[in-house]
Amino acid sequence: DTGVSQNPRHKITKRGQNVTFRCDPISEHNRLYWYRQTLGQGPEFLTYFQNEAQLEKSRLLSDRFSAERPKGSFSTLEIQRTEQGDSAMYLCASSPSSPGQYGEQYFGPGTRLTVT
């Protein structure tokens, strides 16, 4: 296992279209996170899964955003009716949940979304 992977790496879409991103976490990690990073800023938390359960959602996650992790392995993040303000890097991270280790989140390379 070489780490967290994300697909696609780049996505260009027109405003109003729907997009879906995929994240494959490190195989033994049962926690999965989505973040968004805009230019010149640090990542901002969007949502978090423990196995297949979505346990926390940020206020940043509007109704147009939905995330799933149906089998507790990979996750998808869908954005409906994209807007130009959605242009950002979408980062996925995973972590183990062993005591003392939950703080270690390992990030994937991200999916860069450009909405034209």
By CB under 8 A, how many residues form the interface with another protein?
24
Q: Is 56 a binder of another protein (CB under 8 A)?
A: yes
d(Cα 99, Cα 61) in Å, to the nearest integer? 29
Contact in structure between 30 and 40 (CB atoms under 8 Å): no
What is the end-to-end Cα distance of the chain in Å, rounded? Answer: 35
Judged by CB under 8 A, the residue of 8, 18, 62, 102 near another protein is 102
Window contacting another protein (CB under 8 A); options: 17-25, 54-62, 66-74, 76-84: 54-62
Q: Is 70 a binder of another protein (CB under 8 A)?
A: no
Q: Is 77 exposed, middle or buried (0-12, 13-18, 19+ CB in 10 A)?
A: buried
Footprint of another protein on this chain (CB under 8 A)? 4, 31, 33, 40-45, 48, 55-56, 58, 91, 93, 102-110
